[in-house]
Structure 1
Amino acid sequence: MARGNRIKKDDAIYHVMIRSISEVPLFKKDRDKDIYLEEMKKRQEMHKFKVYAYCLMTNHAHFMIDANGADISKIMHGLNHKYAITFNRLHKRHGHLFQDRFKSKIVDTDRYLVVLSAYIHNNPLKIKGYEYHLEEYKYSSLKVYLGLEKDKTGLLDEDYVMKFFGSNVQVARENYMKFVYVCDYERLKKEMEFEDEKTEYRSEKTVLVRDFDPDKIMEFVAEETGTKKVMLYIKNSKNTKVARALAALLMRCLCDFKCSDICKILGNITQSRVSKLCSIGVELISTEDKYRNIIEKFISKYQSHQPQISQINQSYQAQIEQLQP
């Protein structure tokens, strides 16, 4: 039976679930989980999607992802393909790792949003030792939600969910704790009582429009790197590798281009080379201060020519009121 087309929307939030084939764990070691999250962070730099919650288990993982105008299939297929190659190499195996394609479901209501976050964070519940200590599970975003740890992955935007539980951070954390936990509330509450530099949650959903003009990107990158625009089209020039890498990355992110589309723009270049240039671009914006905000700088310069960014700012007070003592 043929698989149905995946339902996708540019402004959607998705519940994404990945699972390994039955005879192989998806993550044999903690390091495998670290590798997956690190690769997801690289993809986030490339596609500018948002992660609202996550939990990685032994043979599966759950994520709440705001595609932010990007294609969720491109994000997950690229991520899972790269991870499977790395996993097989590290563990000296061959063949498929993932059970079919990833599963995704659109989060279409605020109630679904907050209940899903609790469901994701409750995944370790049946693991011995975590029945009453969900916040101690290392590969879950719950500890960040409760203010017990900073986000070490760099992936997470917990504010969007937490704002439904109150604008004051401490109040929101207490409300969320009641929402997720069924017992041992007082113990965890004591652990949360410390100073925090954040006092309010202020977060609105924005959607990044992905139809910028590639020619504008080429002009912008040439200007930012001090390179003549025409040189960006010349293959195998060591002097233009940085500029070509940044141009490829920006086109991948802001034009929603495939590698094959970028090949047509740059000319006389393979898809594998474009993929490598995008990886170099991610490395540049991650490590070089002068390029760290180049995507945001381009958007700021040219977004006035784009359609208005949509915003969602809805309350969820009826649900929260039920949590109050």
Structure 2
Amino acid sequence: MPRTARVKTDESIFHIMCKSISEVTLFKDDEDKKRYLLLIKKYKTLHNFKLYGYCLMDNHVHLMIDANGCDISKIMHGINFSYAMYFNRKYKREGHLFKDRFKSKIVYSDRYLRTLSLYVHNNPTDIIEYKDSPEKYAFSSLSIFLGKTTDSFNLVDYVFVMSLFGDNLKGARKNYYNLLFRCNEEKLEQEMEFEDEKTDYNSERNILVRNFKSDDILDFIALKMNMSKINFYTKYSRNFVNAKALAVVLMRSLCNFKSKDISNILGNITQARISRLSTIGIGLIGSEEKYGKIIDDFIKCYA
């Protein structure tokens, strides 16, 4: 039986759920969960999407993702494929890890987004020790929403969702906490089933249009790195690896280019090399302060 086409737009907010196959636990220990969060961070840097909340349970994952102009399938394929490779290598196994494709449902209204956020953060109450204190569960973004912990992975854009619960953050957090314990999981599921507003969802979000030019990216990086643009086309030179790596990340993020496209632009280097440069670039953005906002800085210059 053929698969039905996934309903998606690049401007949507999605409720994503991923499950492992029935005989395998998706996360066997805390390190596995941390690895999955690190992979979300990696692909968030690469694809510049927004994460509005998450909860990682032992055999499934809930994510609230604002695609922000990117293809949600590209985002989730990168995260889940990379995690499956890590998992199979660690536990010396082969074959599929995730059950079918990830499930996705488009958020069509503020009401639905509010209910979804409460539903996702309510998941840990299924665990006895967190039944009355889901905010203590380490692998949910609830404690970040409530201001009880910092976002150590720098993942969650919680302010946008919290703005739907009150005019100021302190009041919104109080309202959120009260609603969370007033609604059980069954009631929240019923609320989400009432969603029938299949119309355009107009919120205050600004969607990133990914139609930037590769030449502008190369000019921008060359200026920032104090080098000649021609050096991007120099092969086998270690002096320009970082510049190439940053350019690759920006082209993948802001031009929606595939590895083949970037390979042609930079002079027919291999797609494997493009992948390696991408990893280097993401590492630079995540670890060196001077590159931390390079994508935002480019957007400000050329948007």
The corresponding residue for 1:80 is: 80
The corresponding residue for 1:97 is: 97
The corresponding residue for 2:238 is: 238
Q: Deviation per CA, 1:190-233, whole angstroms, max 9, x where unpaired?
A: xxxxxxxxxxxxx9422111000111111111111122212212
The corresponding residue for 2:67 is: 67
User: 1:170-189 counterparts in 2 under 5 A?
Assistant: 170-182=170-182
Does structure 2 retain, via aligned residues, the 8 Å contact 1:51–1:66? yes
Q: Does 1:154 align with 2:174?
A: no
Q: Residue 246 of structure 1 aligns to which amino acid in structure 2?
A: L
5+ residue gaps in structure 2? 184-202
How far residue 101 of structure 1 moved from its aligned partner, in angstroms, is: 1.4
The corresponding residue for 2:16 is: 16
The corresponding residue for 1:131 is: 131
The corresponding residue for 2:48 is: 48
User: 1:115-126 counterparts in 2 under 5 A?
Assistant: 115-126=115-126
Alignment partners' CA distance in 2, 1:292 and 1:149: 22
Alignment partners' CA distance in 1, 2:181 and 2:272: 47
Alignment partners' CA distance in 1, 2:287 and 2:126: 40
Structure 2-normalised TM-score? 0.91
The corresponding residue for 1:229 is: 229
Q: Does 1:210 align with 2:210?
A: yes
The corresponding residue for 2:57 is: 57
Q: Residue 181 of structure 1 aligns to which amino acid in structure 2?
A: F
Alignment partners' CA distance in 2, 1:238 and 1:52: 38
The corresponding residue for 2:300 is: 300
SS in 1 for 2:15: strand
Does structure 2 retain, via aligned residues, the 8 Å contact 1:235–1:268? no
The corresponding residue for 2:26 is: 26
Tell me the C-alpha RMSD between the 2 structures: 1.4
How far residue 264 of structure 1 moved from its aligned partner, in angstroms, is: 1.7
Alignment partners' CA distance in 2, 1:130 and 1:298: 43
How far residue 42 of structure 1 moved from its aligned partner, in angstroms, is: 1.1
How far residue 12 of structure 1 moved from its aligned partner, in angstroms, is: 0.6
Q: Residue 254 of structure 1 aligns to which amino acid in structure 2?
A: L
The corresponding residue for 1:144 is: 144
SS in 2 for 1:165: coil
Does structure 2 retain, via aligned residues, the 8 Å contact 1:245–1:278? yes
5+ residue gaps in structure 1? 184-202, 304-325
Alignment partners' CA distance in 2, 1:227 and 1:97: 45
Alignment partners' CA distance in 2, 1:102 and 1:28: 20
Alignment partners' CA distance in 1, 2:74 and 2:181: 35
Report how many aligned residue pairs link the two structures: 284
Alignment partners' CA distance in 2, 1:33 and 1:181: 25
Alignment partners' CA distance in 1, 2:82 and 2:236: 25
Q: Residue 73 of structure 2 aligns to which amino acid in structure 1?
A: S
Alignment partners' CA distance in 2, 1:230 and 1:269: 15
Alignment partners' CA distance in 2, 1:290 and 1:165: 35
Alignment partners' CA distance in 2, 1:142 and 1:38: 18
SS in 1 for 2:157: coil
Q: Deviation per CA, 1:272-316, whole angstroms, max 9, x where unpaired?
A: 21111111111111222222221111111111xxxxxxxxxxxxx
Alignment partners' CA distance in 2, 1:137 and 1:86: 24
Alignment partners' CA distance in 2, 1:32 and 1:164: 32
SS in 2 for 1:129: helix
Alignment partners' CA distance in 2, 1:287 and 1:132: 37
**Identical-pair percentage:** 53
Alignment partners' CA distance in 2, 1:236 and 1:40: 31
